[in-house]
Amino acid sequence: MTLSEFFGRFLFVRKCAACGELLPYEKEREAFCDTCRAKWDIEKTFECGVCGKAVCECICMPRELSGSGALCLHKAVKYSADNSSAHNAVMFLKRNKNPRTAGFLAAQMLSVLSADKELPTMEPENTIITFVPRSRNAVLRYGFDQARLLAEALSERTGIACEETVRRRRNGREQKKLNAAQRKRNVKHLFEPIANIDEAVSGKNIILIDDIVTTGASMAACVSYLVRARAGKIICLSVAAVYKDKS
Ligand SMILES: [Zn+2]
Ligand SMILES: [Zn+2]
């Protein structure tokens, strides 16, 4: 080990984004330890009960989102709240503005997006990346918005412009404490379009990013503003999405 490598160890602590375990120096570019990476790879291959494809190939939308005007929803992995790599990594990113984690998750999203059948009909210069904004409280508390961070990481990798299109309203009630019916009613009051949304969106194809999609209500609310602003094709993209268990 050289002295610069040795000193480099003290500049930032390299921890697995999912379990917090210290990563060896030679793995400094990785976001996950080997165990969590293996777990992530399993979460990627979970089979969708509707289309029968692996999650990383499934483009099914939750009910709230279908009919919104979006074409599909891509997701890198299945989400579950119980200690899944996806859950832990997204929670880690929420609290830590960590470029390695954001970069890893953006790369995973890019790999599922790159198979989209609409891409050959979309031009990069006529496409923007945008995101479902976090609550104002979360942004105040953590100092940044992890959905924006993911969108920017994807923008950096692809060269496609990232733009804010929808904002959180002041005094909006948090979605996560509500049930599905309440979410549906509440979500209409959560978001508002930015003042010049027409200018930003009109005629442009959209890649709409969120970290986790549960009911799809927040995403659908954002899609409705994009549609109203006469967006072109709208493709939704998330790190993880909830799947109902097969019954
Ligand atoms: Zn780990
Ligand atoms: Zn599916």
Model confidence pLDDT, tens digit, residues 110-155? 999 999 999 999 999 999 999 999 988 889 899 999 999 999 999 9
CA of 139 to the centre of ligand 2 (A): 32
Model confidence pLDDT, tens digit, residues 42-100? 999 999 999 999 999 999 999 999 999 999 999 999 998 888 899 999 999 999 898 88
CA of 48 to the centre of ligand 2 (A): 5
Please tell me the number of the ligand nearest to residue 49's CA: 2
Question: What are the structural domains, with CATH classification, of the chain?
Answer: 35-170+181-242 (3.40.50.2020)
CA of 56 to the centre of ligand 2 (A): 9
- CA 50/CA 203 separation, integer angstroms: 32
Question: CA angle, 17 as apex, 5 and 23 as ends, to 5°?
Answer: 35
Helix 34-44 / helix 85-95 crossing angle, nearest 10 deg: 120
pLDDT at 158: 95
pLDDT at 247: 45
Model confidence pLDDT, tens digit, residues 160-185? 999 999 999 887 677 677 787 787 77
User: Tokens 């790190």 correspond to what residue?
Assistant: 239
pLDDT at 185: 78
- The proportion of the chain whose per-residue pLDDT surpasses 90, expressed as a percent, equals 70
Contact indicator for 202, 231 with CB cutoff of 8 Å = yes
CA of 241 to the centre of ligand 1 (A): 20
Task: Tell me the pTM.
Answer: 0.90
Higher per-residue pLDDT: 1 or 99: 99
